[in-house]
Amino acid sequence: MSTRRHHLALLAAAALAAGGAMAQSDTVKIGVILPMTGPSASTGRQIDAAIKLWLAQNGVRAGGRKVEVLVKDDAGVADTTRRLAQELVVNDKVVALAGFGLTPLALATAPIATQSKTPMLVMAAATSSITEASPYIVRSSFTLPQAAVSIAEWAAKNKVKKVVTLVTDYGPGNDAEKFFVSQFQLNGGNVLDKLRTPLRGADFAPVLQKVRDLAPDALFVFLPSGQGAQFMKQFGERGLDKAGIRLIATGDVTDDDQLNDMGDVALGVVTSHHYSAAHPSAMNRKFVADFQAAAKFRPNFMAVGGWDGMRVIFKALDTTKGAGGDALLAAMKGQLFESPRGQVLIDAQTRDIVQDIYIRKVERKDGQLYNVEFDVQKSVKDPGKLK
């Protein structure tokens, strides 16, 4: 048998096990794959801390079973993610896969979820099309079109006439650019140029020089979580703020993981996103306090995606009494609940998250920098699926 056919046979066997033999064991396992090392390690660290917090707060039982969470490090390398997913499904017989820090890592795993009928909960990656890569994918993070459309509307209504866009050159960057540009132009805005930087080893100096020369009213930016601080530093060093070029972005850039160390250059930056550590709800205040007490750092949007993702899996296991496969997937669809970010829904048709998108401004409060929410668009479905 070829290696590939051998893999398919193993995955099919795992799919059968999900319905039958699994039901007899007292323990169910969840396989979490995260970038715990490498350039996206902050995403792994945030989500891992959120999962640990969720288990500490809610206990390790669901549907009358003990739940074991296995966390694996893919270092942000797609071949590793795929191999780890295969091992978790075939050897560990997990009822669900979860995590996925970057789009290519989620896409590499999608065929394994499909072939083994294993629900796959995407807690971080945010390219719109991910949920279409497998009918077993459910998402608890967000999509870039959700964030980009709202900031484009805000900009057009707030004296921004000419923009340059700058995005990381891969899935979520494509989405951010496409949806920002079309919404901004629809509102009469003028896009002077569309710039890109690579996912690995980005140097912002050349593109920032270009932006300075083009002299737009604003620069719109998407960068994946972890790159914001470096970008902000260079934005300040090149004097773009002093040159009167406003910075607008998706909240990935003023990420709560790094925001507090960015300094004055970040003050006044307007962004759109689904989560801020400063979200003023009782639930969020408790979430942030508990998270900070346990992890010793501030939770960001990745942490909330992980914490809510655990909620989705545990509630679904309660419904299925620990069974996996199609029953577990069905129990994830349509979940409606309060999150630290506000009310959210797992859309039963798209398996994607419907949520409020906030417009925020960076302000200093009690000596710390926060994304302070000042406007909201309620119950936003992924615009990437309204084709």
Q: Which of 74, 153, 241, 252 binds ligand VNL (CB under 6 A)?
A: 252
Q: Give residue for tokens 């902050």.
A: 42
The enclosing H or E element of 66 equals: strand 65-73
Residue 225 found at the interface with ligand VNL (CB under 6 A):
yes
Supply the minimum distance, in Å, between the C-beta of residue 63 and ligand VNL.
30
Residue 40 found at the interface with ligand VNL (CB under 6 A):
yes
Q: Looking at beta carbons only, is 101 or 145 nearer to ligand VNL? A: 101
Q: Are 354 and 383 in contact (CB under 8 A)?
A: no
Q: Looking at beta carbons only, is 146 or 225 nearer to ligand VNL? A: 225
Contacts of 24 (CB under 8 A, 6+ apart): none
Stretch that binds ligand VNL, among 221-229, 231-239, 269-277, 331-339 (CB under 6 A): 221-229
Residue 127 found at the interface with ligand VNL (CB under 6 A):
yes
Supply the minimum distance, in Å, between the C-beta of residue 220 and ligand VNL.
15
Q: Using DSSP, how many helices (H) and how many strands (E) does the chain show?
A: 11, 15
Q: Looking at beta carbons only, is 86 or 141 nearer to ligand VNL? A: 141
What torsion do the CA atoms of 227, 49, 328, 130 make, to the nearest 10 degrees?
0
d(CA 238, CA 205): 8
Q: Looking at beta carbons only, is 153 or 252 nearer to ligand VNL? A: 252
Supply the minimum distance, in Å, between the C-beta of residue 122 and ligand VNL.
9
Contacts of 222 (CB under 8 A, 6+ apart): 144, 148, 166, 167, 168, 172, 173, 176, 177, 180, 249, 250, 252, 253
Residue 165 found at the interface with ligand VNL (CB under 6 A):
no
Supply the minimum distance, in Å, between the C-beta of residue 226 and ligand VNL.
6
Cα distances (angstroms) measured from residue 75 to each of 6, 34, 188, 278: 26, 7, 43, 30
Contacts of 51 (CB under 8 A, 6+ apart): 32, 69, 71, 306, 307, 310
Looking at the DSSP assignment, which residues form a beta bridge with residue 195? 166
Residue 153 dihedral angles phi and psi, to the nearest 5°: -65, -45
Tokens representing residue 92 in the block: 């560990």
Q: Give residue for tokens 């000596």.
A: 367
Residue 224 found at the interface with ligand VNL (CB under 6 A):
yes
Supply the minimum distance, in Å, between the C-beta of residue 188 and ligand VNL.
28
Q: Which of 14, 69, 126, 346 binds ligand VNL (CB under 6 A)?
A: 126
Residue 172 found at the interface with ligand VNL (CB under 6 A):
yes
Residue 46 found at the interface with ligand VNL (CB under 6 A):
no
How many residues touch ligand VNL under the rule CB under 6 A: the total is: 15
Q: Which of 11, 43, 48, 358 binds ligand VNL (CB under 6 A)?
A: 43
Residue 85 found at the interface with ligand VNL (CB under 6 A):
no
Residue 174 found at the interface with ligand VNL (CB under 6 A):
no
Residue 125 found at the interface with ligand VNL (CB under 6 A):
yes
Stretch that binds ligand VNL, among 6-14, 51-59, 224-232, 339-347 (CB under 6 A): 224-232
Residue 102 found at the interface with ligand VNL (CB under 6 A):
yes
d(CA 18, CA 320): 12
Supply the minimum distance, in Å, between the C-beta of residue 215 and ligand VNL.
28
What torsion do the CA atoms of 332, 333, 336, 341 make, to the nearest 10 degrees?
70
Residue 320 found at the interface with ligand VNL (CB under 6 A):
no
**Residues lying near ligand VNL in the complex (CB under 6 A):** 40, 43, 101-103, 124-127, 171-172, 224-226, 252
